[in-house]
Amino acid sequence: MKRLARLAPLLAALALPHAATAGGTRTHTVSDFDDFDAGEAVGAAIEGSGRVTVAYLPARAEITAASAFVCHAAAGRAYIGTADPATIQVVTPGKPGKPVKDAKDAKIKQQPAPKVEQLAELPGVVVTAITELPGGDLLAATLPGGVIHRVTAKGKVSEFAKLDVGQIWAITPHKGRILVATGPKGELYSLDDKGGDAKVILDSDDKDLLSLLVVGDAILVGTAPGAKLLQVTSELDGVLLHDFAGDELRALALAPAGLLAAVNEFTDRGISSLDALTKNLNRSSLIGQPSEGISDIKPRAVKASAKLYHVHLGPGRDLARAGEATWEAWLSKDKLYFTDIEVLEGGAALVSSSFDGKIYRVRGRRDLATVLDLEERQATALCRLEGGALLAAAGDGAAVYRLDAAPAITATYKTKIFDAKQPATYGELLLRGRGDLKVRARVGPSDTPDKRWTAWSAVPLTREPDGLHGRLRQPLRRYLQLEVTVPSADAELREIVAFYAPENLPPLVKSVELSRPEVERDDDDEPPSTATIKWKADAADDDELVYEVRVRPEGADERQWIKLNGDAPIDKKELKWDLASVPDGTYEVEVRASDEPSNGVGDAGVDALVSAPFVVDRTRPRIESLKVSATEVSAVARDDAGHIHDVAFSVDGGPFRAASPRDGVFDGRDEPFTVPLPEGLSKGRHRLVLRARDAFGNLGTLAVIVDR
C-alpha cells in the first residue's frame, strides 16, 4: 500500500479527468471547477479555481404550487409568483440564524426559515411578472393571455389592463408609466398608471421580449428567438445594441462598471425557454422537457448551453458602448440555461440556472464559484431585499430560499455518480486539500442510488506528503459515489482521485476478409502476388488491442498454423501477405485479438475468428488442343485451380483483342474458344499470340505461326 501511495501522485498527474489511465487501472478524478460542479454541495462554495470551501446554508420554505417562477423584492419582503396554481406569495425572510454545526442535518437545524403566506390566487396558470406601484399595490401578469392584474395589500384582485397579446414576460414602472414586455409579436407597451393609454413604443422583429431593464432614462430589452439587445428610441423598431449568438436574452442586470446579459442557446434552434412554457404549462422545465425537480423521475441533462456576458460601459455608463465594445463571456455552462441575474452590493453577480438548482457567483472572467445547490433542480428567480437578504425561487416543487440564512461551520460535497462501465474493483483513494477532511463511499448497480446500493461507509485516511490516502474497500459494483466533509472554514478540498479496475471485457473480432488486386480484362500484366487481410475488431471497454494473424491449409490441425506477423503483435487492422510464401492450395486465416496492453498478460482477454476458405493460385493457365487454319485458330484454355477469366489474342505484335468463349460464358476450368483471323489480313506468314487469364490474374500465353 505504501508503494501505491507513492505512485498515486504520478498516476493522478497523468490521468485525464474521468478518463482511463493506460492499463487496467483507471481513475475517477475530480480536480477543476467543472468536475466539482457536476456534484452536489451542502454548506459549501465551489470556487472557480477548483476548491470546495465552507460557505452558507440556505433556509428553505416550501410553497404549495408546482413551481415558483418569479421573485420581486419590496421593502422588507418579497413577492413570489407561482405556477399551477397561479398565486402570489408574500415572503418575509427573517433574520440570519446562528452558524449551523452539522451541514448533513441542515434541513433540521437551519433557522430561521422564511415565512411564506399566500396573498392572492389569480386567474391563469402561471404568474410571469410582478412589479409594485408607488402606492404599494402590485401588478401581476399571468399566462395564458395578456391580462395584467392589480393586487392590493389585502389580496383583492382586479383587472388593471388587458392587452391584445399572447403573453407578458416583464413589467416595470418608468417615469410615471408602466412598461410591459410581451409576445408573440415582440412588442413593448407603455401604459399610464391607471392601466389605460396603451401605446406600442417598440415593435421588434423577434417573437418575444423576455427581459426588460431601465438604466436612467434609457430602456433596454432582450429578445427571443434572436437573442438581441435593443434600446428603445423614438423609432418604433428601436436601436440594435448587440446581436448575441444564441436563442434568447433571458435576463439583464446593471453591474457597477457595465452591463450583464444571460444568453441561452438550445439544441432546437429558434425556441425560447419561455415560449415552450406557453405550449406546455404543466411542465416546469421551461424548454419543454420533463420536470427537473425532486421526484421519482430520473434527472435529464438539459439540451441547452448558457453564457453570462459582460460589457464595460465606462465611468459614465455609456450605453452606446454596448454596441461597440467587446462583450466578454464571464461564465459558460452546458446542459443548462440561465434564468435570472442579481447584482450584490459588492459588485458580484448571482446567476440562477435551470439544472440541479445551481446558483453561481461571478465577479469577472476568472473569479466565479458555485455558491448554492438547491434541493430542487431548477432555480428560477433571484431577488435582493433592501436590508440585504437574498432570496431564490425554486421550480418543480415550489420553494423559496433565503440564501444567506446562516453560515455553515462544516460543509459536505457529494461527487456525481461515477460509472466504471463494468463491475469494478476499487482501490486507492487520494484527497488533496487542507484540514482534517473526512470521506464516505457507497457503490451500487444503477446510476441512481436505491435500495440495492450499499450504505455509506467511512473510509479511513492517513496523511502522506502528497495528500490523504485511503482504501476503498467496496464490493464489486459498477457505480461509485463519494462524500467528503470539509470540517471548518479554514479547510478546503482541491482534488479527488479514486483508483479502480473494471472487469475486463474480452475483445470481439467481427469479421476477417482477404482481398486481392482486382483482375481487369484489359490489363497486360499479372497483378502482384500479394493479398491484403483485413479485419474488424472492437473492445467494448475501450481497451487497446493488438493482433496476431495466422494461416493454415483448410482442414489442417492446430499444429499447422503459420504466423504471418512475425514475432511481435501488430496494432493495425490489416496485413499484406506475400502469397509466394505458400504453395498453391486452399487456406484459411485466423485473426486473434488481445487486450493485453491495457490489462497485462494475466488478465488479458482474447478473441479469435477464422476466415472463410480461400484459394491461393499462382499457376498460370495453359492453352491446349490448338487447331490452325487459314481463316481461324481454335484451342482450349485450361486452369487447374480456378476458372478462366478471359482470353485475348494479338496479331503481329498489335494490341490484344478479346476472344469469345465457344459456349458464350467464361466460367469453367476448360474453355474452348475460336479466334477468327481478321479480315484484310495480308497473305503470307503471321505471328498470332494467344493469352489466357485465370480468376487470380495469372497469364498463360502461346505463340502461333499462321500462313495465310
Q: Left if phi > 0, otherwise alpha if psi is -120 to 50, otherwise beta: which for 412? A: beta
- Decide if 345 is inside a domain: yes
Q: Select, from the ranges 12-21, 109-118, 216-225, 286-295, the one with the highest average predicted confidence (pLDDT).
A: 216-225
Residue type, 603: D
- Asked if 183 and 208 touch (Cβ cutoff 8 Å), the reply is yes
Residue 274 per-residue DSSP state: T
Could you report how far apart the first and last alpha carbons of the chain are, in Å? 97
This prediction has a pTM of 0.73
Residues 544-556 have a mean pLDDT of 94
How high is the pLDDT of residue 285?
Answer: 32
Q: Let me know whether 483 and 574 are in one domain.
A: no
pLDDT band for position 639 (cuts 50, 70, 90): very high
Q: Let me know whether 586 and 446 are in one domain.
A: no
Tell me the sheet residues that pair with 657: 649
Residue type, 302: V
Q: What is the dihedral of CA 575, 578, 583, 589, to 10 degrees?
A: 0
Per the structure block, which three cell numbers stand in for 12? 493522478
Query: What is the Cα–Cα distance from 306 to 291, expressed in whole angstroms?
Result: 19
pLDDT band for position 281 (cuts 50, 70, 90): very low
The domain that contains 693 carries what CATH number? 2.60.40.650
Of 470, 486, 502, which residue is a domain's last? 502
Query: What is the Cα–Cα distance from 485 to 498, expressed in whole angstroms?
Result: 16
Q: Using CA of residue 456, residue 460, residue 463, residue 467, what is the dihedral sign?
A: negative
How high is the pLDDT of residue 8?
Answer: 38
- Asked if 441 and 415 touch (Cβ cutoff 8 Å), the reply is no
Q: Let me know whether 263 and 390 are in one domain.
A: yes
Reported as a single tens digit per residue, the pLDDT across 355-406 is 788 999 999 988 999 999 888 878 999 999 887 889 999 987 899 999 887 7
* Statement: residue 18 has pLDDT above 80: no
Query: What is the Cα–Cα distance from 673 to 690, expressed in whole angstroms?
Result: 11
Query: What is the Cα–Cα distance from 184 to 279, expressed in whole angstroms?
Result: 12
Tell me the sheet residues that pair with 502: 424
Range of weakest confidence among 107-111, 456-460, 563-567, 622-626: 107-111
pLDDT band for position 270 (cuts 50, 70, 90): low
Q: Let me know whether 193 and 249 are in one domain.
A: yes
Reported as a single tens digit per residue, the pLDDT across 221-266 is 999 999 999 999 999 999 999 999 999 999 999 999 999 999 999 9
Locate cell 459515489: which residue?
A: 481
- Asked if 216 and 209 touch (Cβ cutoff 8 Å), the reply is no
Locate cell 436505491: which residue?
A: 450
- Which parts of 225-282 are beta strand (E)? 228-231, 239-243, 248-254, 258-266
Q: Let me know whether 127 and 213 are in one domain.
A: yes
Q: Let me know whether 487 and 550 are in one domain.
A: no
Q: Using CA of residue 365, residue 388, residue 94, residue 100, what is the dihedral sign?
A: positive
- Decide if 51 is inside a domain: no
- Decide if 50 is inside a domain: no
How high is the pLDDT of residue 524?
Answer: 81
- Decide if 308 is inside a domain: yes
Query: What is the Cα–Cα distance from 499 to 460, expressed in whole angstroms?
Result: 16
How high is the pLDDT of residue 108?
Answer: 41
Q: Helices in 460-566 by DSSP H: which ranges?
A: none
Residues 146-156 have a mean pLDDT of 95
Task: Annotate 218-232 with DSSP letters as a single string.
Answer: EEEEEEESS-EEEE-
- Decide if 551 is inside a domain: yes
Reported as a single tens digit per residue, the pLDDT across 568-607 is 899 999 999 999 889 999 999 999 999 999 888 888 999 9
Q: Left if phi > 0, otherwise alpha if psi is -120 to 50, otherwise beta: which for 363? A: alpha
Q: Left if phi > 0, otherwise alpha if psi is -120 to 50, otherwise beta: which for 261? A: beta
Q: Using CA of residue 40, residue 43, residue 47, residue 53, what is the dihedral sign?
A: negative
CA 56 to chain centre: 31
* Statement: residue 681 has pLDDT above 60: yes
Residue 476 per-residue DSSP state: S
Peptide bond into 184 cis (omega under 30): yes
Residue 598: which domain range?
508-616
How high is the pLDDT of residue 573?
Answer: 95
SS3 state of residue 342: strand
SS3 state of residue 216: coil
Kindly list the distances between the CA atom of residue 356 and the CA atoms of 69, 156, 372, 374, in Å, as whole numbers in the listed order: 16, 36, 10, 7
How high is the pLDDT of residue 101?
Answer: 54
CB atoms within 10 A of CB 626: 12
Residues 80-90 have a mean pLDDT of 94
Of 562, 583, 616, which residue is a domain's last? 616
Locate cell 472572467: which residue?
A: 365
SS3 state of residue 320: helix
- Decide if 104 is inside a domain: no
Q: Helices in 250-289 by DSSP H: which ranges?
A: 275-279
* Cα–Cα nearest to 141, from 175, 110, 168, 112: 168
* Statement: residue 98 has pLDDT above 70: no
Residue 198 vs residue 267, higher pLDDT? 198
Q: How many helices and strands in the chain, by DSSP H and E?
A: 5, 56
Q: Let me know whether 600 and 683 are in one domain.
A: no
How high is the pLDDT of residue 295?
Answer: 34
Q: Let me know whether 271 and 125 are in one domain.
A: yes
Reported as a single tens digit per residue, the pLDDT across 506-533 is 999 999 999 888 888 888 888 888 899 9
- Decide if 47 is inside a domain: no
* Cα–Cα nearest to 704, from 633, 604, 619: 633
Query: What is the Cα–Cα distance from 588 to 140, expressed in whole angstroms?
Result: 80
How high is the pLDDT of residue 658?
Answer: 93
pLDDT band for position 277 (cuts 50, 70, 90): low
Q: Let me know whether 121 and 259 are in one domain.
A: yes
Q: Let me know whether 689 and 554 are in one domain.
A: no
- Decide if 45 is inside a domain: no
Peptide bond into 85 cis (omega under 30): yes
Q: Let me know whether 384 and 476 are in one domain.
A: no
Look at the chain and report how many structural domains it folds into. Answer: 4
Of 502, 521, 537, which residue is a domain's last? 502
Range of weakest confidence among 35-49, 122-136, 392-406, 549-563: 392-406
Can you give the C-alpha Rg of the chain in angstroms?
39
How high is the pLDDT of residue 246?
Answer: 93
How high is the pLDDT of residue 603?
Answer: 86
Q: Apex CA 405: angle with CA 401 and CA 409, to 5°?
A: 125
Q: Let me know whether 269 and 400 are in one domain.
A: yes
CA 524 to chain centre: 55
The domain that contains 549 carries what CATH number? 2.60.40.10
Q: Apex CA 161: angle with CA 155 and CA 163, to 5°?
A: 135
Residues 432-449 have a mean pLDDT of 96
How high is the pLDDT of residue 298?
Answer: 40
Query: What is the Cα–Cα distance from 423 to 363, expressed in whole angstroms?
Result: 43
- Asked if 511 and 535 touch (Cβ cutoff 8 Å), the reply is yes
pLDDT band for position 99 (cuts 50, 70, 90): low
How high is the pLDDT of residue 540?
Answer: 85
Query: What is the Cα–Cα distance from 556 to 592, expressed in whole angstroms?
Result: 18
Per the structure block, which three cell numbers stand in for 445? 448497480
Residue type, 8: A
Per the structure block, which three cell numbers stand in for 677? 483471323
- Asked if 457 and 470 touch (Cβ cutoff 8 Å), the reply is no
How high is the pLDDT of residue 63?
Answer: 93
* Cα–Cα nearest to 163, from 129, 127, 189: 189
The domain that contains 382 carries what CATH number? 2.130.10.10
